C-alpha cells in the first residue's frame, strides 16, 4: 500500500497540471454534494421555532351541537383535567387591522392569545422577551414575528423604545419571535389576553394542548373521547350526532420532492456553480 502511494505521488509530480485539475474536480464534486444535501435536508426537515412540537396538537370539537357548543373556557378546563395533558392554551383566528408606526399605517394580521400561550408551545425569541403579567393585565405589550419586525422597523436593531398603535391602543414591542414561527401559526402581531374568557367571543378560537412526556396521540385518544362524551351528554339532544374531538399535530408536513423536481434542483445548483 505504501509503495502504491509513493508511485501515485511521483506520477502527480510529473504531471502538475493533471494533479491540479483532479484536485479541483474532486473539491467541486464534494462541494456540490454537500450543498445539495444541505438544501434538500433544509427542505425536508425545516427548522421549527417551537420546542417539543411533537407534543402539541390542535383540538377541534366536531359535530354535536354547533349552535350552542361548550364555551372555550369549558373546553380548556376539560382538557386541563385529563391526566395526559400538561397544559392548554388558546389563540384566536388572526384578523387584519391597521397598525401604525411613525405615522405610517400598515394592514397586518393580529392574533390574541391566552397568557400561557407562548410558554405552552415553547416558542423561542430572537430579540427581547415575552410580556410580563402586569403588561398582559394592562394590555400594553405585544410581540412581533420576524417578518413583521423587519416590515415595521426596517432600520432598527434594538426593540428599546419600539411601539405600535392598533386602533386606539398603544403597545410597546417587547419581543420578536424566532424566524419560522409565522409558518406554523397565522399572525404577525401577537397580543396576550388576560384569560381564555376574553377570547370567547372572538372569531375562530384555536385550542392548543401539550401532551405530557411519554403520552402520544394514540394514548390520548380515549381521554379525548371521554371529554367528547361528557359534552355530548350536556349539550346534544337525543338522536343528534355526538361530539367528536379531532386532534391535529403541530409539526408541518415536509414538502415532497417528486421524481422530476430533484433533477431540476440539481440542474439549478450546477448552473450556479458554473456562474
Cell 430533484 found at: 262
Measured in whole angstroms, the distance separating CA 110 from the mean position of its chain's CA atoms is: 16
19 φ, ψ (degrees, to nearest 5): -60, -40
Residue among 233, 227, 7, 202 at smallest CA distance from 111 = 202
Instruction: Over range 111-116, report the average pLDDT.
Output: 84
What span, in angstroms and rounded, lies between the C-alpha atoms of 48 and 184?
8
Q: Residue 75 is placed in which grid cell?
A: 373546553
pLDDT in tens, 33-46: 554 544 444 444 55
What span, in angstroms and rounded, lies between the C-alpha atoms of 90 and 231?
19
pLDDT reported for residue 44: 45
Q: Are 61 and 245 in contact (CB under 8 A)?
A: yes
pLDDT in tens, 201-254: 655 678 888 999 888 888 889 999 999 899 888 888 888 888 888 888 877 666
- Check: pTM over 0.85? Answer yes or no: no
30 pLDDT band, cuts 50/70/90, is low
Amino acid at each position: 500500500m505504501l509503495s502504491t502511494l509513493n508511485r501515485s505521488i511521483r506520477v502527480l509530480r510529473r504531471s502538475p497540471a493533471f494533479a491540479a485539475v483532479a484536485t479541483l474536480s474532486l473539491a467541486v464534486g464534494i462541494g456540490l454534494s454537500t450543498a445539495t444535501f444541505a438544501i434538500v435536508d433544509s427542505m425536508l426537515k425545516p427548522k421549527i421555532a417551537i420546542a417539543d412540537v411533537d407534543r402539541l396538537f390542535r383540538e377541534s370539537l366536531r359535530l354535536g351541537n354547533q349552535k350552542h357548543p361548550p364555551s372555550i373556557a369549558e373546553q380548556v378546563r376539560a382538557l386541563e383535567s385529563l391526566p395526559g395533558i400538561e397544559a392548554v392554551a388558546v389563540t384566536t383566528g388572526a384578523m387584519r387591522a391597521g397598525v401604525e408606526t411613525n405615522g405610517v399605517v400598515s394592514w397586518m394580521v393580529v392574533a390574541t392569545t391566552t397568557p400561557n400561550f407562548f410558554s405552552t408551545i415553547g416558542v423561542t425569541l430572537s430579540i427581547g422577551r415575552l410580556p410580563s403579567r402586569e403588561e398582559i393585565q394592562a394590555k400594553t405589550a405585544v410581540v412581533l414575528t420576524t417578518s413583521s419586525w423587519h416590515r415595521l422597523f426596517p432600520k432598527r436593531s434594538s426593540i428599546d423604545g419600539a411601539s405600535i398603535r392598533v386602533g386606539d391602543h398603544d403597545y410597546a414591542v417587547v419581543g420578536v419571535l424566532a424566524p419560522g414561527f409565522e409558518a406554523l401559526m397565522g399572525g404577525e402581531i401577537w397580543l396576550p389576553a388576560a384569560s381564555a374568557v376574553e377570547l370567547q367571543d372572538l372569531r375562530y378560537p384555536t385550542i392548543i394542548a401539550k401532551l405530557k412526556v411519554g403520552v402520544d396521540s394514540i394514548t390520548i385518544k380515549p381521554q379525548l373521547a371521554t371529554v367528547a362524551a361528557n359534552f355530548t351528554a350536556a349539550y346534544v339532544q337525543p338522536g343528534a350526532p355526538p361530539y367528536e374531538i379531532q386532534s391535529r399535530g403541530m409539526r408541518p408536513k415536509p414538502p415532497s420532492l417528486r421524481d422530476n423536481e430533484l433533477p431540476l434542483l440539481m440542474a439549478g445548483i450546477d448552473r450556479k456553480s458554473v456562474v
